[in-house]
Structure 1
Amino acid sequence: MTYRLFIDSAKPQEWDLARARGWLHGVTTNPLIIQRAGLRVELATARDLVEAAKERALAEIQLQVTGHGAEEMLASGRALRALWGHVTVKVPATAAGFAAATQLIRDGAHVTITACYSAQQTMLAAAIGARYVAPYYARMLDAGLDADERLDAMQRIAGQQQNLSVLVASIRSVDQLETLARRGFDTFTLSAPIAAAFGQTAESDAAAADFMKAAEDSLKS
């Protein structure tokens, strides 16, 4: 199994930590993430993020459409797709979103159906040829839904397709990430704090410090 790991961030300096550790496949964003980064949700911002992704030779950057209806979302998605061949267009799992996503895929765009909460939405994503479905794991838990059962159902449906992956979002701890990975999920997007903690343990840091102390002490004798 090969893991495909993204960082959920609109701050290139946060991308660099994950890149330096060697695991970063790409970046995911949405209007909330962009706003929280102190940026405007507009095409110029998307263009700047794409340029940063190009400079870092990222495999993929996911940018989300805006708009109140299918036509506005479609126009937004086409503008985002035109920025770079490695852009994946994120579209919300709403009626208008599926209508826009269908046409974007017909145009040749790679599409993520985001804010996916059910198996039936995964079926629709598969039917139209989406690349990813992105369920919000922790938000499902917060809503009192059986998040594990729902994600498992999504995974079973996606596993029957050739090109559809479940991109698990809204991970709140490394423990959640580990648990889902043990259950067979292999595609995740991590917030900057989870990305910073990923792969790190106090025990490993302590062992490394002991090794270095032994090396330094050996030079004193």
Structure 2
Amino acid sequence: MKFFVDTANLEEIREAADMGILDGVTTNPSLVKAEGNIDFHDHVVRICEIVGEGNDVSAEVTATDFEGMMEEAHQLAPLHENVVVKIPLIKAGIKALRALDQEGIRTNCTLCFSPTQALLAAKAGADYISPFIGRIDDISSDGMGLIEEIRQIYDNYEALDTEILAASIRHPTHVKRSALAGADVATMPFGTLTSLLDHPLTDRGLERFLEDWEAYKETRTTVSAS
């Protein structure tokens, strides 16, 4: 499974990249807004430079009509070879996905909430589909079930090579279950990424090892002094 970090914060992206396990970044208008008064295109390029060669960075269009989506896509795609244009899963978006696929521009179809939406996006040529599992859970439905259904549908048809990008991840259990369900990518906030390391037994074990090591050193010092 690939790990993407869902942020537009450069420091978080640098820290995730330094860990050596970062495969890409997803952004959206809300995340960009949180970074204050920045030039969006320049910021996307800086993100691409941090993540390095071959790691995808999703940059989202804000238009909701076909012509507007295409215009923004043609501005975003040339910024850097890592850029994947993020397109909303609406009627005009499906049309844009097909047109961009024919031009060789890579896309991430976002705001997916049903298997049939995912099937349409894949048929239109999306490189990634982004099911929002956390938001589905928020309305008392089954976000992880959606990942499982999309995986089964895509596996039924060899011609569908769209990658499943589990999005709106809220906690480590979402990551675990996405991996078990066969999602290709999990994108998550930086805090969720680092929380994958957390376990009380790891902390307790390390504390015990360090205490024993200090006791050992004291013993060795006493023996050397005698």
TM over 0.5: yes
**Judging changes above 3 Å, is the alpha-carbon distance between structure 1 residues 56 and 127 closer, same or farther for their aligned structure 2 residues?**
closer
Name the structure 2 match of 1:79. 75
Matched residue type, 1:132? Y
- Cα offsets for 1:31-52 (capped at 9, x unmatched): 0111123245xxx323223223
TM alignment of 1:191-206, pairs within 5 A:
191-206=189-204
Superposition RMSD on alpha carbons, in Å? 1.8
**Judging changes above 3 Å, is the alpha-carbon distance between structure 1 residues 139 and 71 closer, same or farther for their aligned structure 2 residues?**
same
Contact 1:113 1:132 in 2 (8 A): yes
Q: TM-score, normalised by structure 2?
A: 0.88
Identical pairs, percent: 26
Question: Deviation at 1:124?
Answer: 1.4
Paired residue for 1:90, among 79, 83, 86? 86
Q: CA–CA distance in 2 between the matches of 1:16 and 1:213?
A: 33
Q: Is 1:67 the counterpart of 2:94 in the alignment?
A: no
Q: Is 1:49 the counterpart of 2:44 in the alignment?
A: yes
Contact 2:8 2:27 in 1 (8 A): yes
Q: TM-score, normalised by structure 1?
A: 0.90
Matched residue type, 2:103? D
Q: CA–CA distance in 1 between the matches of 2:145 and 2:195?
A: 27
Secondary structure, counterpart of 1:5 in structure 2:
strand
- Cα offsets for 1:37-70 (capped at 9, x unmatched): 3245xxx323223223214415111101111311
Contact 1:78 1:104 in 2 (8 A): no
Name the structure 2 match of 1:165. 163
TM alignment of 1:1-221, pairs within 5 A:
3-40=1-38, 44-57=39-52, 59-159=55-155, 160-161=157-158, 163-221=161-219
Secondary structure, counterpart of 1:171 in structure 2:
coil
Higher helix share: 2
Matched residue type, 1:52? I
Question: Deviation at 1:164?
Answer: 1.0
Matched residue type, 2:44? L
Give the length in aligned residue pairs: 216
Matched residue type, 1:51? R
Matched residue type, 1:124? L
- Cα offsets for 1:51-103 (capped at 9, x unmatched): 23214415111101111311111110111101011111110000111122221
Secondary structure, counterpart of 1:155 in structure 2:
helix
Unaligned regions of 5+ residues in structure 2, if any?
Answer: 220-226
Question: Deviation at 1:17?
Answer: 2.6
**Judging changes above 3 Å, is the alpha-carbon distance between structure 1 residues 52 and 185 closer, same or farther for their aligned structure 2 residues?**
closer
